[in-house]
Structure formats: C-alpha cells, structure tokens
Amino acid sequence: MKTLSLALAAFMLPLASAGFAAEGDLSLSDGYARSSNPKAGAVFAMLHNAGGSDCTLQAVATDSAEVAELHTHEHGADGVMRMTKVEAGFTVPAGGTHLLERGGDHIMLMGLTAPLENGAEVALTLEFGDCGTLQATVPVDNDRQAEAAAPMAHDGEPMMQH
C-alpha cells in the first residue's frame, strides 16, 4: 500500500506543476495564466466534473489580483467581440468538462498584485457552491499561442489580446 501511495504521489507531482489540480469530483487540467500588460491577466484551463451532478463555477479568489471575475466574449451589435462579466457562472456538466479558453469563457484577473512573468505561478480558489471548492495553481505562460484570437474590446475599450 505504501508503494502504491508513493507511486501515485510521484505521478501526481508533475501534473500539479503542469496546471493540474483535483479535489473530489472536480479537477482542472492544462491550466495556465497569461498577461499582455502589467494590470490585467487571464486564466485558461479545462474544468472536469467526474460527479453525478452538474457543478457551477460561481467565483474565483486569488492573491495575484485585486479582482478575479468570470468573463466571456460576445459579439457586439457592431460586430466587435466584447468581454463581459458572467454573473451566472460556468456550469460543468455531470461527467463532463467546460473549457476556459482565449476568445471564450475565462477567468479575468484585474489589478494584478505583481506582473505575470513566465515561470511564476498563480494560486486560485475556485468556488463551486454546493459542489465545494477546488484549489489550483497554474503556471504563467505568456508565450503560449492562442488557438484563434479575434479583435476584442472590454466595455467598449481596446482590449489586451489573451
């Protein structure tokens, strides 16, 4: 049994450093943070729910920013993508996943307490209401390329590409 525990710990250690975290039925994989300016950044990842009930990410807390909010992108009437706060949260279906990605749903970090520099880490507490919380630490990777980045605006202002 001790050998199995050690083997499991050895397996999980590299995953934790690669933006993986798990608590109960909830987990996060392929997580990373990035920023293109010293005031704001964003976190992207795949959220997993192995449980039998839907779970909704309702809020995020971090010491890396004054404010962490759930955001998404929507097409404005003028055809420009705009980032908006999501009050209802992000539902991760039972036995399913929810992608936090550039140009889509993501965690917005505003009022960074320090610049997000490559190699640093961002610790997060993800609140899922009745489903509990998930503690995660994601690496900063400002060089990671987007799958598909579109011109965006935040509340009508030019927006950082992320």
Q: How far apart are CA 53 and CA 143, in angstroms?
A: 36
- Global model pTM greater than 0.95: no
The pLDDT, as a whole number, for residue 59 is 98
Each residue's pLDDT tens digit in the chain (162 positions)?
A: 444 343 444 444 444 444 667 778 999 999 999 997 899 999 999 999 999 999 999 999 999 999 999 999 887 788 787 889 999 999 999 999 999 999 999 999 999 999 999 999 999 999 999 999 999 999 999 999 876 443 333 433 333 333
The pLDDT, as a whole number, for residue 99 is 97
Q: What is the CB neighbour count within 10 angstroms for residue 108?
A: 21
Tell me what percent of the chain is helix, strand and coil, each rounded to the nearest 5. 10, 50, 40
The pLDDT, as a whole number, for residue 151 is 38
The pLDDT, as a whole number, for residue 19 is 63
Q: Which residues contact 54 (CB under 8 A, 6 or more apart)?
A: 91, 92, 93, 94
Q: Are 50 and 25 in contact (CB under 8 A)?
A: yes
